[in-house]
Chains A and B, each alone.
Chain A
């Protein structure tokens, strides 16, 4: 038996070694992000946005006359697999990469790409990715964390809440938001007291104990740093215990599944989210097109990813090649590109301009945009 099995293993590895020989006539573009694993939902929503944009461009003859081909690499939002995924994309000679879903993975990928790849993220919101200016060819179509937190704090101050609790899911996304909120509130207290600042374990079976803590602290408002899945559990258990604390969450909460899960408990929950992009008819068309291929929701980052792709393709079309990053950067920062998510233009550091956050409140099972001050 030993002989047969070992030959089988040898044969298997030989076959795998061959690997794919890709045809050269298409313009290969890379996507790095969480296709598998716990945060696959966010990775896929980026991916679907990209596929939609590429489908549109290819229908109109592709970029520089070549059909665009997307090369996918999974990194499960983990820094170490992001580094190997990024190296794989790099060694296939890709010049344009979209993604790396999570901030941690994006950072690790950037250290691999250095300046030999132009990268556009559509979901990594951590401030320092662009703030430290270490990566000239890194852009992102999602606004940074420090855009949405002031909107939340302004709302709290406006409503005159005095006791604020801040919770986060101990993830790099959630914690960054929570800390920004804390810094903002502590900088100018105006009598607002932070009664609780803690992390909860994401995916916990029940949050009763944390909810009891909230009740004991008498928190009037809860600022949540994290995604909608844990938030819905928190909301359910808070309303279940008759707690009236108002919940404010980031764009991670601005997701239709939150309403479905929390149902009656979602009433009155506030979330800062992207501008309501699905109103324009091109957006409706995009959603319809998406539905034909996938049975899932479009996900929060669908439009950001599509917008990123359309902006970069427009710039590449003008520059005429995909290697002259300086020229591409000039176009991306100077001219505004009409995309499915509206006008897209980047600032010198690579952040998108003019995509403010707006505040939504769940009324009657729907996100209703509040007129921001």
Chain B
């Protein structure tokens, strides 16, 4: 896919134009143009080291990109360039993420993990905390209710007061996603959510992703190696190899695309 002449941002949630990331000599990302349509599930696949997680880190502000732009349609429809924003600013604009290796707050309870997710949307400050006026108490209760309902809706009701580190692996993956949801995102970035899950846990995950897209009306950008999950859940698939985009298209087209097969399976 050649680089589009000019990088007009059609009405998509996220648009990167000519996004490049260079670490010293290594070109981790080479002029990547990525578009995530509203309410779509877009997948990003490619062999290990193709630069998928680096792309995620550029999007979420952990690494400032060397070249190119990132435009994001925030909650109220404004188009904002994410370039140079700190990770916490990016999250507050409505772009939440999960991590490749689970980064839960292991010594806090499940409910508290989700409550921390709501941090961006709460207003209580220092004085509110100290004097616990009615407004702060109301906000606390509202967000505890909100988090509790979120946990019930996504099947974590039983372990509300459990310590995050004591949950089963699948449940921890699920909690990380729910926690990301709590930040009220418009676009959810999932970094290999299915890694290490068994068959029925992956199916549960597929249902979860589909229900999230509809009930929380948000779009999803997914990095994943589990091909059958990717093939039957995503609308558009981007394939990356050595930092470059080598194919874009719907699942069935990508399945047959020679460049993709070569990248994955090597020469026939």
Direct chain A–B contact by Cβ atoms under 8 Å: no
Interface, chain B (partner A; CB < 8 A): none
Interface, chain A (partner B; CB < 8 A): none
